A and B are shown apart, each in its own frame.
Chain A
Amino acid sequence: MPTLLEILDQLKLVTYETALLGLFITASVILLFKDWRILILALLAQYVLVGIILMRLVRPDIAVLKILIGAFICPILFLSARQISVRPSLNVETWSFKLGRWRDLSGGVSALTGQYSSTPTGLVFRIFVGLIMILVILTISSSFPLPGSAATVTTAVYWLVVSGLVTLMITEDPMKAGHGLFTVLVGFDLYYTTLENSLLLTGLWGSVTLLIALAVGYLTVVKGTGLEEDA
């Protein structure tokens, strides 16, 4: 069985560019999808990818701590969502039904949510916003680079923060909004961890993030009816 150090060494093989691509995918998934299981998996992947980037920038134990915080947040969100999730699980029939919906995007049908999208924030809108965001982020990150950060890290930070903010703007569902909030905070963490040397502040900030997850979980349970369950 490999030790933690060996795992960390292997993870260092992941390049900045690969991690950045991964973050583009995870944040896009959080923006586009509504299924809570997919959201939580994307968030977990986001924390791991940020941790991998941080391993090259700060002490490995701090980077591992950031991954662990994500690893604690995701079960909190999972348990909250699971507690109120009462819909039947995925089966072949619903899957084929969903696939059929992909063909009808222009008709206002949301393939990823399984619902007829009559709201202005449907799937097509979110894809459109995501594409615009990519253009904006690429422009901003080259025009206003973050001091002391590599270009890839700058792009990753801007992407996470902006995509998280957009996710927050287009939803009032606590689970989805929580993922948007954590995406913003992950983006901030990626930058802030490289700047701040104080372990006290790093530790306090980590605790705060965990407590935010508890509050989001509580609101998710209270809201109850807002969760989607489709793949």
Chain B
Amino acid sequence: MPPALWLVALPIGVAPIVYVLRRVGLGAIVAAIITFLSAWLAANLPTGVVLNLLGRPIALDALSQTTLTLVFSATSILFLTLTLLSVAQEKRVTHFGKVTGQEGRVFYPAALIILGLFVAASLSRHLGITAIFIELAAILMVFVIQTQRLESTRAALRFLTLVSLATPIFLLAAWRIDAYQLSGGIVTLAEIDQTAMLVGIGFALWLAVVPFHGWLTSTATESAPITAVFVLITFPMVVFSTLINLFADLPWLTNSTFLMNAILIAGVATAFVGGVWASMQRGFSELMGYAALYNIGCTLALLGLGGQAAVLTILVNLTVRALALVLIAVSTSTLYLRVASDGFSYVNGMVREMPLAAAGLIIGGLTLAGTPFTAGFAPYWQLLRSAAANNPSWVIFLVLGGLGVAVGYLRGLWALLGSDRRVERASKPFSTNILRNSQEPRFLMIIIIVVAFICILTGLFPNLLIDPLRKTALHVPWLIQ
């Protein structure tokens, strides 16, 4: 078997074992080890064509290699966090083979299969097959988003609906692309525009571009922090990788009269709306959703602006986004050990009881906002420079969006610093296992400190992040001027 296919076979093959062991901590540990191993494998595999399957090339390119490494790494940290949380909640630090958290029972095996499907999607060079694999992963994500909750299906339903509506559009786009390639590659401008329209609508649905952002914000609001962040990191990252690869494979798409402008406008609008809405939220989950939406808008704007540094900046931004979201998820989950909800009125004064979790939450949020001295600043600054060169008015919207996210998290900080904490009933059933007098679990503290340190260190020395990713970016031909 070609080595790249191990990345598909390994997670999917281990998933049944993890499913069988889902009720005990061992399943979680196996899942975490496999994702660590897959991340290492993804980083070290040779790139190039793997094989030809039914006349379709299967290839691992440099961009997919990097994004898959990031996806596997982020997931392994999330697995580890969830396992440690379960241990902390059950007060069974010394008995590692005990019951895991409720969401973990579905999350571990489903996430492994989802990762395998994402690898398959990334290996395929055919848009239709990629879309189908991503759709399959999205169907499984419905179970991850829903986990064990019974009170609402809104987030999972919105996700399923919007992603499923995009897949037929991609199949039509793939059919058109196939038809052009079979006709000898002669493409008229009208045909380019038609294909560009299909591709644009499809990716707008997948990337939660305003007004299709319902799935993203409701997933952040309704799902558990770890599962929500898994969806918010992996899905957009694979989709961005697919989009960039599509432009690399079909450079004529960028000749469309409207596509790149549409991407730019959609990106700026999404960033602006996400940022403004973020400033008005009253809970950290909701805030995370809109901050993630703002970040997606920024990444799309980078793509629309194009230029030589576009791929590198997008890669840095995706890496920073993954770091920030992981930090937010770990911090929010830690807070849930003491509070019933992450609403601002519930977390008053938590900075004194869980200072590291509170700090992690704010650092993660400010990183997403692109605040100076955090890892998010370097790609944000590059975006503002590119936008100013293109159209200065874009800068105003992007800055307002970033300020909105920062204001949202500063409001959250104000609440965390407050003195009167309301003790009300839990609004989220997955968080009812509250430990009244617990401190921050030691292992979770280590994860928060390490990730927060990376966020600040790469903010002070962005080259630590840029240099390793530069090699990948050089492999992606970029024809947008």
User: A residues touching B (Cβ–Cβ < 8 Å)?
Assistant: 165, 168, 172, 174, 177, 181, 184-185, 188, 192, 195-196, 200-201, 204-205, 208, 211-212, 214-216, 218-219, 222-224
Contact B168 A172 (CB under 8 A): no
Contacts of A212 in B (CB 8 A): 139, 160, 164
Segment at the A interface, from B91-99, B150-158, B290-298, B445-453: B150-158
Is B180 an interface residue when CB atoms closer than 8 A count as contact?
Answer: no
Contacts of B175 in A (CB 8 A): 192, 195-196
Contact A205 B171 (CB under 8 A): yes
Across the two chains, which residue of chain A brings its CB closest to B132?
A204
Across the two chains, which residue of chain B brings its CB closest to A204?
B132
Cα(A196)–Cα(B128), bound, Å: 11
Contact B172 A192 (CB under 8 A): yes
Contact B132 A215 (CB under 8 A): no
Cα(A15)–Cα(B199), bound, Å: 35
In the complex, how many residues of chain B place their beta carbon closer than 8 angstroms to a beta carbon of chain A? 26
Cα(A165)–Cα(B135), bound, Å: 19
Within 8 Å by CB of B171, from A174, A184, A201, A211, lies: A201
Within 8 Å by CB of A219, from B132, B136, B160, lies: B160
Q: Known: A192-B172, A218-B142, A219-B157. Contact between A208 and B167, CB under 8 A?
A: yes
Contacts of A201 in B (CB 8 A): 128-129, 132, 171, 174
Q: How far is the CB of A129 from chain B (nearest CB, A)?
A: 18
Q: Known: A168-B161, A185-B164, A224-B150. Contact between A208 and B142, CB under 8 A?
A: no
Contacts of A218 in B (CB 8 A): 142-143, 146
Within 8 Å by CB of A174, from B139, B149, B150, B153, lies: B153
Contact A215 B165 (CB under 8 A): no
Contact A211 B139 (CB under 8 A): yes
Q: Which are the 4 A-B pairs with shortest beta-carbon distances?
A: A188-B168, A215-B142, A219-B153, A204-B132
- Extra pairs beyond A214-B139, A218-B146 (12, CB < 8 Å): A165-B165, A168-B161, A174-B153, A192-B171, A196-B171, A201-B174, A204-B129, A208-B135, A211-B136, A212-B139, A215-B156, A218-B142
Across the two chains, which residue of chain B brings its CB closest to A216?
B160
Q: Known: A201-B128, A201-B132, A224-B150. Contact between A219 and B156, CB under 8 A?
A: yes
**Interface of chain B, helix or strand or loop or mixed?**
helix
CB contacts under 8 Å to A, within B68-115, are none
Within 8 Å by CB of B154, from A165, A172, A195, A200, lies: A172
Q: Known: A201-B128, A222-B146. Contact between A177 and B157, CB under 8 A?
A: yes
Within 8 Å by CB of B132, from A168, A185, A188, A208, lies: A208
Is B186 an interface residue when CB atoms closer than 8 A count as contact?
Answer: no
Is B54 an interface residue when CB atoms closer than 8 A count as contact?
Answer: yes
Across the two chains, which residue of chain A brings its CB closest to B154?
A172
Cα(A181)–Cα(B161), bound, Å: 7
Q: Mind listing 7 A-B residue pairs with CB under 8 Å?
A: A172-B153, A200-B54, A201-B129, A214-B139, A216-B160, A218-B143, A219-B142
Cα(A174)–Cα(B158), bound, Å: 10
Contact B168 A185 (CB under 8 A): yes
